[in-house]
Amino acid sequence: MIKTPKMTESLARKLISEDDDARSLIYPIIRDELETYEYSDYDLPFPNEFLFFEKDYLEYYVDIIEHRIPSRKVIDIGCENGIQSYIFEDYDYIGIDCIKYKWFRDKGNYINGFFQDIDLNFDDSIVISNMSLGYFNNDAIEIIKHYFPKKKVLDGGIFVEVNDRDSNFGCALDEAIHALYEINQYRKIGTVEECRDAVEKQKPKKCAEDSCPDHTHYKCSTCGRIQLSTYSHRFSRGRITKYCENCGQAISENLAEKNNE
């Protein structure tokens, strides 16, 4: 029988200190146990390069111990294969994911479905949503609001029930809702890839030169559009501008010099 070393606070701290963002921290420890699951490359691709957000989960584990959080129930929204359940083996771990995986250490503690459609008691639970906040929309925000703990306050001589935003759980929900609002605002701007491309295009690049004996074309290095053509008889056509008019790429040529050739 394969015996996988037990997760402890000292082991978690050791792994965190060894993290280099280049390899899996957990895979070498649970490799023999994982092999018994006979995961395909599709089920678990490149496990030694990237298994899941391991360092994040290890830090959550250490934080729970450090702050002596009494709850023994962990709900992991967006758990994928559930490999991270290894870290929380001493807890009542429940994994939720909208995709049906071959789950790790499946003891009936995984739920296949969308978080907002699942009727689950979150009382006295540690809820982790490391990989899925970005998939929630405004409907999910409204659902989360229903989980606010309540308290009674005196208003005009009458006790009324209001959301308890001062409690630890209430503060956590407020933070989650704020994060979701921010994510939804960023969505309106564009995807992460689109924003990254836009930032890259702000970095000036020189034009690519395409020359032959009687002329030279100066092309945008990103989209290939001809910005300026100069000919051997000193005739020129076009103009190099600060930004490519076709794709918006910033151009770093000496504009005055090229345009006056």
pLDDT digits (tens, 9 = 90+) for 127-150: 888 766 545 556 666 766 776 777
| Across 93-102, 186-195, 207-216, 244-253, least confident range | 186-195
Minimal CA–CA distance to 81: which of 92, 97, 61?
A: 97
* The pLDDT of residue 228: 86
CB 229 within 8 A of CB 215: yes
Please compute, for residue 202, the number of CA atoms within 13 A of its CA located in the half-sphere on the CB side. Answer: 5
pLDDT tops 70 at residue 29: yes
Domain extents for the chain?
Answer: 9-195, 202-259
- pTM score over 0.75: no
Q: What digits encode the pLDDT tens for the residues 72-92? A: 899 998 888 888 999 999 999
Give the contacts of 119 (CB within 8 A, at least 6 positions apart): none
